[in-house]
Amino acid sequence: MKAIIRFIQEQLRDLYSVSEIQSLSFLMLESVCGMNKSSVLRCKDKQLSLNERFRIGEIIEELKTYRPIQYILGETEFYGLKIKVDENVLIPRPETEELVEWIIKEEKPATGYKLLDIGSGSGCIAIALAKHLSGAEVFALDISEKALNVARQNAKENQVDVHFFPHDILSDEPPALPFSSFSFDCIISNPPYITLNEKATLAKNVLDYEPHQALFVPDENPLLFYERIACFAKKNLTPNGSLYFETHSLYGQAAAKMLSNENFRRVRLLKDISGNDRIIIAKL
């Protein structure tokens, strides 16, 4: 075990930080050897099989191209759940787990409670909420059929019922959706919010591999998705229904002001664990 850890460090030291290499090492060993972090630390003299060493070598070669470890392994952890990911969906971030935590804390589903996740991607938000909000009927939309296929797999493997549908929230056409006749008690979205001007600031593993359709908005309108979703929410939320957004730290205040101007009530802009404006909660 000590030898393979040393090998990983030597192979990746010119490409990743010490802390990143440590994290990558634990993820590799958990996936390939079925060992969690404490097991790795406890069994330093364990010898890996030839197949295990070969697989770790394959992963290292992909990491040298900056392909995200989550895509290489085909899965990640989100809010205690295993979530499949590939290049058709964004890799869930810890900040989105904070969004889910707020929703679980604030929402108290009653009979008939309906929840909608817009821009669902891997389905991580919808699936985590279906798992933890007992009694909620959960729906989710995404423009990408390939993303929806991943999301459906994730719902099945995590044994939850989520109704997934294709829809472009930016479309001017009214949604031809089976649930168009009823309202939602809660609408959630982690929409694209990175402007094209910010491309140069992104890490290579994000820019080269994660789906741009789920990342970027025009420079001239960073609130494009927030405005469209707010308009949708005004028509499709129940009275006193809740709207939750994950937001760019640079545009949180502008998004919160937009919601106030659109007559949403009790608009709150909350900071994430790093102290950045990240979550918006509003009531209709």
User: Could you tell me which residues are beta bridge partners of residue 199?
Assistant: none
Q: How do 137-142 and 216-217 pair as beta strands?
A: unpaired
Sheet containing 162-166: give its strands across: 162-166, 137-142, 114-118, 184-189, 237-246, 277-283, 265-271
User: Could you tell me which residues are beta bridge partners of residue 270?
Assistant: 279
Does the pLDDT value for residue 270 go beyond 90?
yes
pLDDT of residue 175: 59
Does the pLDDT value for residue 180 go beyond 90?
no
Task: Convert the pLDDT of each residue in 16-37 to its tens digit.
Answer: 999 999 999 989 989 998 877 7
Rounded CA separation 227/219 (Å): 15
Rounded CA separation 166/147 (Å): 10
Rounded CA separation 281/244 (Å): 5
Top-level CATH class of 87-283?
Answer: alpha beta
Name the band, by pLDDT with cuts 50, 70 and 90, for residue 181: low
Model-level pTM? 0.92
Rounded CA separation 250/278 (Å): 9
Name the band, by pLDDT with cuts 50, 70 and 90, for residue 47: confident
Provide the 10 A C-beta neighbour count for residue 41. 11
Classify residue 145 as exposed, middle or buried by CB count within 10 Å of its CB (0-12, 13-18, 19+).
Answer: exposed
pLDDT of residue 33: 87
Name the band, by pLDDT with cuts 50, 70 and 90, for residue 191: very high
Name the band, by pLDDT with cuts 50, 70 and 90, for residue 49: confident
Of all residues in the chain, the percent with pLDDT exceeding 70 is: 95
Tell me the average pLDDT across 154-180. Answer: 85
Does the pLDDT value for residue 58 go beyond 90?
yes
